[in-house]
Amino acid sequence: MIRPVRLHPAWIVAAVAFVALVGAAGFRATPSVLLHPLHAEFRWPLATLSAAVSVNLLLYGLTAPFAAALMDRFGIRRVVAAALVMVAAGSGLTVFMSTSWELIACWGVLVGLGTGSMALAFVATVTGRWFVRHRGLVTGVLTAGGAAGQLIFLPLLAMLVGAYGWRAAALVVAGAALLVVPLVLRLLREHPADLGLPPYGGHEIVVPSKPAGGAASRALRALAAAARTRPFWLLAAGFAICGATTNGLVGTHFVPAAHDHGMPQTTAAGLLALVGLFDIVGTVASGWLTDRFDPRLLLGAYYALRGGSLLVLPGLFAATTEPSMLVFIIFYGLDWVATVPPTVALCREYFGASGAVVFGWVFASHQVGAAVAATGAGLVRDQLGTYTLAWHVAGALSVGAAVLSLMLLRRRGTTFTEPEPVPVAAAGRAWRYRD
């Protein structure tokens, strides 16, 4: 009997997760275009504004492992919907602020908690539950959702700031996050077993077990176990440098640095959006490569190439967009978060069933690095009048991250495991699923 061909529900879940990540990514694009308008209106130092970004980046990372555990306990749908509402509230309430502590509360606390609940641990949870085949590729595509959000929002926000002021941009971000909530509540499924199906590419229905204890205790237990292993610290240190050189430095300070050299803010924002465009290509390609090559070698190559590009960046800034700057933008875009698919794969390899939660802690180190770099670069600019030192330090650190990644070659395989969910043999079904 010929079986009808249907689209596996895993692809629908992945599509909804992608849209949700894009909706939350609007805020990730706002600091670059709002730093100078807020500085001009409120006369707050760049170091103060950067501190608000740092609080956001820090909470964005520290929330991730607890959010992964909450998704295991209460479900992806509830956690993601609540996170989008928090992003909308944090962005929307900034239009009423008049003091710097209110900026920290909105930008830092509310949006940090909201976006942190939809960070890359969310990606690891979705791919871990729904995919066996093409897991690395789907990880790359979902990770690129953040870059797609940056691509969509950054030029729009820059134009809104220029035409209507920064408050209009903040409200657009809030509205975009709210628009995604109904889609999440309607279509974001929890487990393939709920539909009586194996994960895509799998052959057994995996019945999820109820996590023991609360979400916070599970996240902390996973950290305690992982922290006793060498691979965890190598991954965390490398990813901290990754965060410092992407979200913390380039994501926050590229537009102001280009503006220092006479480049219009809208032009600089367009270049940063172009990074987002090539990031989509680079991250998807990295996912494809992760399915086929040793992720340790991929990480070493990514970090080494990134370090070289940052070391030459200070000499590329100019009032106009020169070809050399375009080459940097394309290259840096391809490398931006290409590190994510191999890092997720290594967390799954070393830490088994706890891989998603452990990756949440590794991602927390990413945001700690981003927070330090965001504030540190602001202080460098305030004290020295230029960002040059910040770019050079970041380049050297990236080369160090390459060395840390290659040190993982000395130890392979699972470091510790937790009891896996119970597999149930899949009954014969009337449908054949396609890609």
Model confidence at 151, pLDDT cuts 50, 70, 90, reads: low
Residue 124, judged by CB atoms within 10 A of its CB (0-12, 13-18, 19+), counts as buried
Q: Which domain holds residue 174?
A: 9-194+214-434
Q: In the predicted model, is pLDDT for residue 309 greater than 80?
A: yes
Q: In the predicted model, is pLDDT for residue 219 greater than 50?
A: yes
Joined tokens for residue 407: 């040190």
**330 in a structural domain:** yes
Q: Is residue 199 a contact partner of residue 130, using CB atoms and an 8 Å limit?
A: yes
Q: In the predicted model, is pLDDT for residue 167 greater than 50?
A: yes
- Spell out a b/e string for 94-116, using b for 16 or more CB atoms within 10 Å of the CB, else e: beebeebeebbbbbbbbbbbbbb
Domain CATH for 157: 1.20.1250.20
Q: In the predicted model, is pLDDT for residue 163 greater than 80?
A: yes
**202 in a structural domain:** no
Average pLDDT over residues 77-84: 89
**206 in a structural domain:** no
Q: How many domains does the chain have?
A: 1
- Spell out a b/e string for 65-92, using b for 16 or more CB atoms within 10 Å of the CB, else e: bbbbbbbbeeebbbbbbbbbbbbbbbbb
**Amino acid in position 411:** R
**341 in a structural domain:** yes
Q: Is residue 399 a contact partner of residue 245, using CB atoms and an 8 Å limit?
A: no
| Terminal alpha carbon distance of the chain | 21
Residue corresponding to tokens 């992806």: 76
**280 in a structural domain:** yes
Percent of the chain exceeding pLDDT 70 equals 87
- What phi and psi values does residue 205 have, to the nearest 5 degrees? -80, 125
Q: In the predicted model, is pLDDT for residue 428 greater than 60?
A: no
**For all residues of the chain together, what is the average pLDDT?**
82
**199 in a structural domain:** no
Q: pLDDT, tens digit, for every residue of 91-113?
A: 889 889 888 888 888 888 888 88
**91 in a structural domain:** yes
**Would the pTM count as exceeding 0.85?**
no
Q: pLDDT, tens digit, for every residue of 234-285?
A: 999 999 999 999 878 888 888 888 888 888 877 887 888 788 778 888 888 8
**204 in a structural domain:** no
Joined tokens for residue 404: 């840390």
Q: Is residue 251 a contact partner of residue 32, using CB atoms and an 8 Å limit?
A: yes
